[in-house]
Amino acid sequence: MHAAVDLGDDLERTVARLVREGRYASRDDVLRAGVRALEVTADPVEIDGPDLGDDMEAVAEGLADIEAGRVVPAEEVFARLKAKYSAMARR
């Protein structure tokens, strides 16, 4: 079943550009790719999982730490991990 879809001028130009650039073969291919992307990036609240609430809370805490400047540079973390695992390997 195919239905006519009015995307509006801006989105129609985007679809046309994607087809013109060869990224998609047709308008339908662009729309199918868009729907597939929505399936993958659905609102996490809609995803059912036992630990999702805890995970979202942990993410929120991490973002708050970043905003407050409570961060450690990645290089420092990697150096500490390398030292830790090197010491473990020597034992």
User: Which tens digit of pLDDT belongs to each residue from 40-78?
Assistant: 776 655 555 566 667 778 888 888 888 888 888 899 999
Does the residue 68 lie in any domain? yes
Coil, helix or strand at residue 40: helix
Does residue 73 sit within a domain?
A: yes
pTM: 0.44
The rounded distance, in Å, linking the Cα atoms of 86 and 82 is: 6
Predicted local distance difference test score (pLDDT) of residue 56: 75
Total of domains in the chain: 2
5 touches 17 (CB < 8 A): no
> Is the pLDDT reported for residue 85 higher than 60?
yes
Residue range of the domain that includes 14: 8-41
**Is 1 part of a structural domain of the chain?**
no
